[in-house]
Amino acid sequence: DIQMTQSPSTLSASVGDRVSITCRASQSISSWLAWYQQKPGKAPKLLIYQASSLESGVPSRFTGSGSGTEFTLTISSLQPDDFATYYCQQYNSRSPKVTFGGGTKVEIK
């Protein structure tokens, strides 16, 4: 089974900071990776798919990069609305076809 490991689990940052979250896959998943943002009491929201494709309506300060086993979500200038928990998710042809990372909480410093 493919395992997804996110780091850090918690990140403290200030408005305006550039922040990066890492997601590592236990085996290569090419570029089959999505990123989601979840706020307390809300459903997850798709930000990025296929590792670097920005979902329609998502601000351009969010960028995704990487391929193979290592991926990064970067927020170029953290905004008050960005304090949330972020999840990566792999999707591929091998079972299980979907696995989520454990999440990274971005909190106010």
Partner 1 sequence: QVQLVQSGSELKEPGASVKVSCRASGYTFTTYSMSWVRQAPGQGLEWMGWINTNTGNPTYVQGFTGRFVFSLDTSVSTAYLQISSLKAEDTALYYCARGRGACSSTGCYFDYWGQGALVTVSS
Question: What part of residues 12-51 is at the interface with partner 1 (CB under 8 A)?
Answer: 32, 34, 36, 38, 42-46, 49
Distances (CA, A) of 105 to 13, 41, 55, 67, 77: 11, 14, 21, 23, 16
Q: Which of 13, 55, 67, 83 binds partner 1 (CB under 8 A)?
A: 55
Task: Give the position of tokens 């990025």.
Answer: 48
Distances (CA, A) of 36 to 9, 74: 15, 12
Nearer to partner 1 by Cβ, of 83 and 100: the residue is 100
82: its two tokens: 């960005």
Nearest approach, Cβ of 29 to partner 1 (angstroms)? 9
Taking the C-alpha atoms of residue 103 and residue 8, their distance in angstroms, rounded to an integer, is 9
Considering only 20-28, 64-72, 76-84, 90-98, which stretch makes contact with partner 1 by CB under 8 A?
90-98
**Binding of partner 1 at residue 102 (CB under 8 A)?**
yes
Q: Which of 14, 60, 80, 93 binds partner 1 (CB under 8 A)?
A: 93
